[in-house]
Copies of this chain bind each other. A is one copy, B any other.
């Protein structure tokens, strides 16, 4: 139990007295703490007044520790194997003492389990398919029994992405790390194509890292995503280094005027079509002259559905001056979720295309 605050020199600071009362002990002078305080004050050219001196009065039955970052000492009661610790409430003092005194001492005095996480981030695969793909590893993890190391594989799906968290808990840190590394390797072998990152990174960050590593530039041509794809890309600080811009071609006129989409293709195939999608990629590459371009054209809903193209249908294209690939996806969500899924799918298709994992 760690309490903070109420340790100052004024009358409304009652924590020390309350603890002493609760534990049936009294306050006594701690000479070491008084000497430490005197020395510190002397270095600042100050002398202790009575209120400062009173800070060296500490509960007799507790351990007390001088604080190197303030005048209030730390008191530490131990009862029935439990620690009851009183820290000052000033945030800087509290943080310092917690990190440099309390946590190290807790580790000395108690043995606790290690908790080790390894988190892999995936896109472009439904949770159920991923679970199928990882069934062997999953079974290995479930079957593993050891009192010093227990493991769990958690599937944490978000809209369009999945966080796969492998957790090991136990006293045998070496065994935990070894098993986690082994299973991570197996997971990567089974689902490599879908893994875009690890830890707390995001898909737009992964795209940024990829563009930088390839020394490549990027642009977008967006219909149904309406600027959201550009927004995800530019949410990454420094994205201006690789991202040139976007044409948000919400109206068909903009598709034909700004992106050289052929009016006759729109008339024949519709704006939501593989052919228009390919022309949007080509138009964007011509306009921005980047290494890569992404294009989206679809129906975010709720209105706009046509025969054979329900709301949630999208064509996504990615390409370079040399090669363009297009893919059709169907989602069935509300407008906001469809737009998010379109954009995530577009970023993920670019990732796989640029890494040579998905080609024409």
Enumerate chain A interface residues (CB-CB to B < 8 A): 220, 222, 225-231, 233-235, 237-240, 243-251, 253-254, 257-258, 287-288, 300-304, 335-336, 339
Q: For the complex formed, measure the closest distance between the CB of A294 and the CB atoms of chain B, giving whole angstroms.
A: 12
CB atoms of B234 and A231 under 8 A apart: no
Residues of chain B within 8 A (CB-CB) of A247 are 245-248, 258
Task: Pick the residue among B227, B243, B257 that contacts A229 (CB under 8 A).
Answer: B227
A287 and chain B: residue at smallest CB distance: B258
In the bound assembly, the distance between CA atoms of A261 and B255 in angstroms comes to: 21
> In terms of DSSP, what is the predominant structure of the interface of chain A?
mixed
CB atoms of B228 and A231 under 8 A apart: yes
In the bound assembly, the distance between CA atoms of A234 and B251 in angstroms comes to: 11
Task: Pick the residue among B231, B258, B288 that contacts A226 (CB under 8 A).
Answer: B231
Number of this chain's copies in the assembly equals 2
In the bound assembly, the distance between CA atoms of A248 and B232 in angstroms comes to: 13
In the bound assembly, the distance between CA atoms of A250 and B229 in angstroms comes to: 13
A238 and chain B: residue at smallest CB distance: B303
CB atoms of A249 and B254 under 8 A apart: no
In the bound assembly, the distance between CA atoms of A339 and B253 in angstroms comes to: 28
Task: Pick the residue among B245, B257, B303 that contacts A250 (CB under 8 A).
Answer: B245
Task: Pick the residue among B229, B240, B335 that contacts A251 (CB under 8 A).
Answer: B240
CB atoms of A226 and B230 under 8 A apart: yes
Most buried by B among A220, A245, A301, A302: A245
In the bound assembly, the distance between CA atoms of A243 and B247 in angstroms comes to: 13
CB atoms of B235 and A335 under 8 A apart: yes
CB atoms of A226 and B237 under 8 A apart: no
15 contacts between A and B (CB under 8 A): A226-B239, A227-B227, A227-B229, A227-B231, A227-B234, A227-B246, A228-B230, A228-B234, A237-B301, A238-B303, A240-B251, A244-B254, A245-B248, A247-B247, A251-B288
Q: In the complex where A226-B231, A231-B226 touch, is A302 in contact with B250 (Cβ < 8 A)?
A: no
Task: Pick the residue among B244, B246, B302 that contacts A237 (CB under 8 A).
Answer: B302
Residues of chain B within 8 A (CB-CB) of A230 are 222, 226-228, 230-231, 248, 250
CB atoms of B250 and A240 under 8 A apart: yes
Residues of chain B within 8 A (CB-CB) of A220 are 248
CB atoms of A249 and B253 under 8 A apart: no
Residues of chain B within 8 A (CB-CB) of A288 are 251, 254
A232 and chain B: residue at smallest CB distance: B227
